[in-house]
A = this chain, B = another copy of it.
């Protein structure tokens, strides 16, 4: 069994309205040190497969097809083996 921790984020050139709004509210709350906020998705997924290679194969497909749209988003993930 493998556990994947996946990050899906907007590409740098893409506007992040949420991040923008959060930063501006933090500014008005006095957190003027906060210079940049970007908000993305974090997914945890457990895959019942035997090898790291197979987990990677499936994850790449899943991220590309379902979780992220490469037109505006990018993704990366980390894999750890977990006991069954």
- Quick one: given A22-B66, A26-B66, A62-B31, are A39 and B48 in contact (CB under 8 Å)? no
Copies in the complex: 2
Contact of A40 with B41 in the complex, beta carbons under 8 Å? yes
Q: Mark A34-51, 1 if CB is under 8 A from B, else 0.
A: 111111111111111100
Interfacial chain B residues near A62, Cβ < 8 Å: 26, 31, 34
- Quick one: given A26-B66, A66-B26, are A38 and B34 in contact (CB under 8 Å)? no
**Interface size, chain A (Cβ < 8 Å):** 33
Residues of A within 8 A of B (CB): 1, 7-9, 19, 22, 25-26, 29, 31, 33-49, 58, 61-62, 65-67
